[in-house]
Structure 1
């Protein structure tokens, strides 16, 4: 029971940190519009691959697998763009915008269609709209509170002591959404993600922002998130893929990741070179953390066979190892850019 509780906090922490990394300023203008189009094309491409596989009896839920392969691990992508000096280039902006929209879209779709066996998609859609409206209201309210000078002085004074008020507030938001999830269903993973996005928007520009992010990432990626990945890994029998005729499933899901993101990336061709376009597709196809979350949901609901769950995880691991390296080789390194440390999410894998 204790391990299960820690693992539940881990998945909540993972989604909270994913929301914390979301750059709302990047979701503006042409990158946002093209990113939304790219996500729609990704879903269409993924469904074109998974629906026939479902009819052939290869997978149980084509929609679940399509949602799983359409996400992007932005936490792995950003360091690659920073290392190559493309974080603020057109290729970087398009990649981050598309990846952020893919994260939001896949989490929303997973929450709506796979909240539980006895919950309708219509109810989940209404709940999703309510959550989004509440998130906007909360963001506006907390931004006003954060500008209160007296409150800032109190937080600054307590933040340098063992009270660690900013960290405690973040943990309160995180645990609160995780507890609500236990009562309202798994659709509240979106609530945890939105909580991270709101918290990130509030602390943006604060002089304690970098230190606070480091503390939260240290707690999350140092303990809770690895606990979730370890317990998730223990549930799946990767040895089942060693059976004759089963390894092809890994290749199928890996190709699905490439096609679902590589083909839609062609819409950026008028703005990017061919090398940048290919690198953008590879980075958007980098997907591990959300695959593990989707696989966990699918197996708990009986919508995903263990052999496919294991194959999806292996495909996600390969995408996290191979695709960023290939994209980095295509993009090259700009002069005057110093390499940064590997992001904590990649280390947690």
Structure 2
């Protein structure tokens, strides 16, 4: 082996060692946070602590976590799995009828208000990315809050159904807006490409119905108890295929992930007999999704936030003004209880994952100022910390009822 090859081998070994150390630290944080929350009985969403530890251990503070290409790829998979599971949780009934109309009108109203408010900031020279920031303010962290709503037994209630509809609009609406308004192509070309993607997604949506013979279904079911795990493997293929197609068409990968989740839901058995979903959730929530939040914290430009904290507070207030308050008005008849409606509005105003995605896209394109991106992500993290907690304080009856239901479950 010559000197050049030996040098390259040593460099590769050192790189691998740094990557493994970073992954070990990320894994330790992901495994420790649930224990910290449970043992200390903290009324804080785990995602906030994951972000906080990411900031602390990331390159901007202690520098113990290095974000290289390998970790970044896993980060993208974590983001994809987060939206994949959000798409899977989407009930068709929540986007139809009254729930669907309210959700769609609520998001459109939020977008109009956001464009007006951000245009004023643009005129004042505070921001230089009007459309990107406006779209970011209309997002909802449905994927982040779904486990909270589900664990409290609220998904089957009117509150949960309306939240699913509003949350879906707060995720799918911005995803479409990103594709249409933030792409490098012209509007009409983007619409044409989006239509082609929709056709491909529809073909994938229909294909299993023609290919899944009785024999194939039996093999899929049997694989749950063997090392082949065929259903899990094909689920991963579905996710990666639509992620790749979306990225190839110039769209953000979250569009493909969300659609993949919706497609899988169509062919999955009811929850009681669903042996696939727990395994996919184990893959996602077990490692990749917490990795996404830790890496997002590590990438956060905390120095710019410390230098100008008022910018973060401004965006935090705008999340409530743009996304939350319109829902309080629009849902006055659907959710007549004012405390429940305030809780709903605060939940809908909570945003983070798409804020990370949008700011990453815009900063990478050189359109959004890094300080605005950091302030938006910081405001999203603060909303995850404050809004759900405040909503539960305003309407504590929901949490109590959910706890009673969980405690009574073994007696049934």
**TM-score > 0.5, shorter chain as reference:** yes
Distance of 1:279 and 1:113 partners within structure 2: 31
Residue aligning to 2:258: 193
Which of 368, 372, 383 pairs up with 1:304?
368
Match of 1:44 in 2: 112
Aligned to 2:379: 315
Q: State the TM-score, normalized to the length of structure 2.
A: 0.75
Instruction: After superposition, give the CA deviation of every residue in 1:120-139 in whole Å (9 maximum; x if it has no partner).
Output: 23222222222223333432
Q: Which is higher, the Rg of structure 1 or of structure 2? A: 2
Deviation string 1:273-316 (CA, Å, 9 cap, x unpaired) is 21122111101011111111111111111121111111111111
Name 1:270's counterpart in structure 2.
333
Cα distance in 1 for partners of 2:287, 2:148 equals 24
What is the deviation of 1:167?
A: 0.8
Partner of 1:163, secondary structure, is: coil
User: Do the aligned partners of 1:111 and 1:188 also contact (CA within 8 Å) in 2?
Assistant: no
**Which residue of 1 is the match for residue 314 of structure 2?**
252
**Residue among 184, 187, 190 paired with 1:121:** 187
Would you say 1:132 and 2:194 are equivalent positions?
no
How far did 1:143 drift?
4.1
For 1:1-349, list aligned pairs within 5 A: 1-82=69-150, 85-115=153-183, 117=184, 119-143=185-209, 145-146=211-212, 148-205=213-270, 208-209=273-274, 211-243=275-307, 246-265=308-327, 266-271=329-334, 272-334=336-398, 337-338=402-403
Partner of 2:12: none
Q: How far did residue 70 of structure 1 move?
A: 0.9
Residues 80 and 324 in structure 1, CA contact (< 8 A), matched pair in contact too: no
Query: Where does residue 346 of structure 1 map in the other structure?
Result: none
CA separation in 2, counterparts of 1:86 and 1:14?
20
- 1:7/1:236 CA distance change after superposition, 3 Å: same
> CA, structure 1 residues 318+83, in 2 after alignment: closer, same or farther (shift >3 Å)?
same
Q: CA deviation at 1:192?
A: 2.3
| TM-score, scaled to structure 1 | 0.87
Count the aligned residue pairs: 335
More contact order relative to length (CA 8 Å, sep ≥ 6): 1
Which residue number corresponds to residue 345 of structure 1?
A: none
Note the C-alpha offset of 1:204: 4.4
Q: Could you list the per-position Cα deviations for residues 49-82 of structure 1 after superposition, in whole angstroms to 9, with x for gaps in the alignment?
A: 1111112221121211111121111133334444
Q: Distance in 1 between matches of 2:295 and 2:145?
A: 25
Q: How far did residue 36 of structure 1 move?
A: 0.8
Where does structure 2 lack aligned partners over 5 or more consecutive residues? 1-68, 407-412
In 2, the alpha carbon distance for the partners of 1:183 and 1:336 equals 47
Q: Which ranges of structure 1 fall in alignment gaps of 5 or more residues?
A: 342-349
Query: CA–CA distance in 2 between the matches of 1:191 and 1:239?
Result: 33
